[in-house]
A and B are shown apart, each in its own frame.
Chain A
Amino acid sequence: MDTLLIIVVALLAVIALTQAIRIFEISSKIKGTDNDIKVNDKDNNAQGWLMLLFLIFFFGAFAWMVSEYMDLTLPVSASEHGNEIDSLWDISMGVIILAFFVTQPLLFGFAYMFRGRKTRKATYMEHNNKLELFWTGIPAVILAGLILYGLTTWTDIMFPEKTEEPIVVELYAKQFGWTARYAGGDNTLGFANVRLIEGANVLGVDSADNNSSDDIITSELRLPKGRPILLKFRSQDVIHSAYLPHFRVQMNCVPGTETQFQFTPSMTTAEMRMDNDVIEKVARVNSIRSAKGEDPWEFDYVLLCNKICGAAHYNMQMKVVVESEEDFNKWLKEQQTFAEML
């Protein structure tokens, strides 16, 4: 029924448009004007003004979105390198917003100022090397700065200083879930391959490898605050991507190869729950959830899949907890090792 209505409305709209055009044409014939497509001063004036109005509306909408939506964006970084990324982000954003606020008014402002008029004659100017040099040079200098800053940050993240032995944890992805494997006392992961998957050994860990016996397989990811973590990623089937937005961490999980990412959590889950932005976020989310009759939500870090991987891609997640090193060690001791599990 709805679809039928939509079709009827669409048909009526087309007929209405046809008739409207007819009326336009007939009226312009009666008036003896033939300015149906060629623009005249009236059009130029109206469209020029609309350009100016759009600019005002555009900037107004921008301001509105910043005031309404910025609160919804991710809270403060929960990792050490994340703060570096956030500073780089802020500076880059500052540069592009400045460029945005310089160029858009020029564009729409000129469109308004120089809207056509019968009496106006355009100025013939084909080029000006000084100007060209100016707006090649300025972006080049700014970019040089951004590139240098960006590359320094990237290098810091990708090649962290080896001050402390990182805790090695494997994140294993498959359609549509995550499993974690801690390297245990020797801090070395046992060899694993899909061909060794059998029964309870869902990660295909090689039991003949001495390094594997103390590995610990868990269904949630717990991490100690302040210790470097070396995440190693594997995938069983298709490409997945381990995305930890609160920690500013992302790395693809690629079948047939192993990838890695090192970072240091800097805020425990409990600390993050006390963050003002997070408190507001939780309140906001819970008022929406209670209106829909859903359970209230308590903030937790989360690991998401961020590479299209199939039907349940949208729900491939794992809870992440950051706690004090004591709590972490206590929890880890309670877990079964791979040897015990078999």
Chain B
Amino acid sequence: MEAHAHHKETFITKYVFTTDHKMIAKQFLVTGMIMGIIGVAMSLLFRLQLAWPDKEWPILEMLLGKWATDGIMDPNIYLALVTIHGTIMVFFVLTAGLSGTFSNLLIPLQIGARDMASGFINMLSYWFFFVSSVIMVASLFVESGPAAAGWTIYPPLSALPQAVPGSGMGMTLWLVSMSLFIVSSLLGALNYIVTVLNLRTKGMSMTRLPLTIWAFFVTAILGVLSFPVLFSAALLLIFDRSFGTSFYLSDIMVAGEVLSNQGGSPILFQHLFWFLGHPEVYIILLPALGISSEVISTNARKPIFGYRAMVGSILAIAFLSFIVWGHHMFVTGMNPFLGSVFTFTTLLIAIPSAVKAFNYITTLWKGNLQMTPAMLFSIGLVSTFITGGLTGLILGDSALDINVHDTYFVVAHFHIVMGLSAIFGLFAGVYHWFPKMYGRRMNKSLGYIHFWVTFIAAYGVFFPMHFLGMAGLPRRYYTNTAFPMFDDLADINVLVSYFAIIGGIAQVVFLFNFFYSAFRGKKSEQNPWRANSLEWTTPVEHIHGNWPGEIPEVHRWPYDYSKPGAAEDFVPQTVPMTEDEIANGH
């Protein structure tokens, strides 16, 4: 293995078709960031439309062309924007961008491995993701417009180009792109699982894994078990669209013509979709929770409180996430008895979630909190995880869901609990591991500005949406002016849009800080946060194979911060136990 560290690399093998997990992590991160810019920019466009529906925006015409003649947005492109915004944010930014980046970066480094189990498969995983991203972006430019059936692409709307123009070529490309994405995701996940199980260094038992690794490991298992189901759902939809089958179609008349399809069920698609779709929420969220566990413990200079309870709750959440998908379907006409079952299982998730929240809070208690930007984002994550999670108790309750299903209450809920929490986890991870990725430091003051503006703007965008939902305002409405009963909600929409614009601009600060620091930032030392885990024992300059000599041996868990009797307030995992510690039974 050590020979790896010395062989010569060309530009292509080092930066493009690389098999080095650290470089692949950066590739995922930068691709995810570019997709994130597109996804967020789209949200700003439709926020303009929602707040000022009558106003002409030259910028819309410039960006959308024929879809916004005279600066007035077309309803079809509005639906396309919300669809692609959702798709990009959920899959390309928060699945690939978050999990792809940090699983790749941290799994080998934190378990003490030279690289992933298969560097080649890892490379394939990135390139499938890359091609999938290119196709998704290309779909924005087709004549009939991008997919416009919502990110959940429910048929028959997604199956019938007669019903919405986005279900033509745009939807075909969407399905192709997502199929490739699923391949990428599965290749990545299998690699993560195998690596964690087989390549841990000496002494790194499962109970000594950092919580990041537990989170990535369980996330990968969720992905392997659920993404194939989405693949089959997409495949059947491709058949319905292109080969005349009737898996999801029956008794349909559209554009004045009766279709021959008979016997299928659109609800079948929803079952398949949400069998992925709900675990997907945790595929997004768990890595963010893993990252924040690590960041909070390191910066609180305290062990994460209740390590075993944290692992247990990750496992419990993961298990439960497979038996709750029906809560997205309470009002589909599904058997009410099933509704009861799904209400029961869904509300159970609150228990492990509460355990996690309390453990985070207790980790702060009597700590010595180092308020790095990463720490701020992690604290922000805990706040949004709680705020957004709580409204899940409303939406998971079938009786209450009847009246707020598909309203802005739902938009508020899932953006706060999974959108904000996950994106804060992503930011926390970037700020925390930037020195590991680039050997340099990000600017602290810009980090603070970025956090506070983002945090306040984020709550400013999504908190008022609860009230919109309680006023009965449906989501995915191109404008709310068709119903006088929503006229007095216009002010809230203006406020929300202002916050969205402020929040969007704040990300420019981050992007600037990121790219400036990657090239011109100050050189970092080896272990800038005085952390215990193994990645900080590798040299600052990246080498293939991670450690120049032997892989270090691990003697303890990664959370011995401020341990009584230790000289410093951290004891790296590589430090052997003292006799006192062994006597105390650690």
> Chain A: residues with CB nearer than 8 A to chain B?
1-3, 6, 10, 13-14, 17-18, 21, 24-25, 36-39, 43-44, 47-48, 50-51, 54, 57-58, 61-62, 65, 69-70, 72-74, 82, 84-85, 88-89, 92-93, 95-96, 99-100, 103-104, 106-108, 110-111, 114-117, 120-128, 131-132, 135-136, 139-140, 143, 146-147, 150-151, 153-155, 157-159, 174-175, 193-195, 197, 204, 233, 236-239, 241, 243, 245-246, 248-252, 254-257, 259-260, 281, 284-285, 288-289, 297, 299, 302, 304-315, 317
Contacts and interface: CB of A to CB of B under 8 A. Distances in A.
Contact of B399 (A73, A85, A233, A305): A85
Contacts of B264: 256
A50 B488 contact: no
A171 B361 CA distance: 50
A92 B562 contact: no
B366 A123 contact: yes
A256 B251 contact: yes
A110 B79 contact: no
A126 B559 contact: yes
A105 B561 CA distance: 25
B144 interface: no
B365 A114 contact: yes
A248 B206 CA distance: 49
Given A51-B379, A135-B358, A236-B253, A313 B478 contact: yes
A237 to B, nearest CB: 4
A251 B267 CA distance: 13
Which of A73, A246, A314: most chain B Cβ within 10 A? Answer: A314
B467 A65 contact: yes
A279 B154 CA distance: 39
Contact of B562 (A17, A122, A146): A122
A26 to B, nearest CB: 13
A3 B62 contact: yes
Given A2-B58, A37-B444, A239-B266, A146 B393 contact: yes
Chief secondary structure at chain A's binding surface? helix
Interface in B318-365: 331-333, 336, 339-340, 343-344, 347-348, 350-351, 354-355, 357-362, 364-365
A151 B487 contact: no
B512 A121 contact: no
A121 B300 CA distance: 10
B387 interface: yes
A146 B351 contact: no
Interface residues of B, number: 129
B400 interface: yes
A125 B397 contact: no
Contacts of B508: 10, 13-14
Interface of B: 58-59, 62, 74-76, 79, 149-150, 154, 156-157, 160, 163-164, 249-254, 258, 263-267, 300-303, 305-309, 331-333, 336, 339-340, 343-344, 347-348, 350-351, 354-355, 357-362, 364-372, 376, 379, 382-383, 386-387, 390-391, 393-394, 397-400, 402-403, 405-407, 441-446, 448, 452, 455-456, 459, 463-464, 467, 470-472, 474, 476-480, 482-485, 487-490, 492, 508-509, 512, 516, 522, 524, 528, 559, 561-564, 569
B341 to A, nearest CB: 10
B357 A150 contact: no
A61 B372 contact: no
20 contacts: A6-B59, A47-B448, A69-B492, A103-B358, A114-B368, A121-B569, A122-B366, A122-B561, A132-B306, A136-B355, A151-B343, A155-B340, A194-B258, A255-B156, A255-B251, A256-B265, A285-B484, A306-B407, A307-B154, A308-B150
Given A93-B394, A143-B348, A310-B79, 19 more contacts: A1-B58, A37-B441, A37-B528, A65-B463, A111-B379, A128-B306, A154-B340, A237-B156, A237-B253, A238-B163, A239-B266, A241-B405, A256-B264, A257-B267, A302-B483, A308-B150, A311-B75, A313-B478, A314-B478
A18 B519 CA distance: 13
B463 A308 contact: no
Contacts, number: 380
A96 B516 contact: no
A287 to B, nearest CB: 9
Contacts of A82: 403
A13 B512 CA distance: 10
Contact of B254 (A99, A147, A237, A313): A237
Contacts of A302: 483, 485
Given A50-B452, A239-B154, A313-B476, A147 B252 contact: no
A209 B458 CA distance: 57
B302 A254 contact: no
Nearest to A119: B368
A297 B481 CA distance: 12
A256 B58 contact: no
B212 to A, nearest CB: 17
A7 B511 CA distance: 16
Nearest to A28: B522
A243 B484 CA distance: 16
Nearest to A111: B379
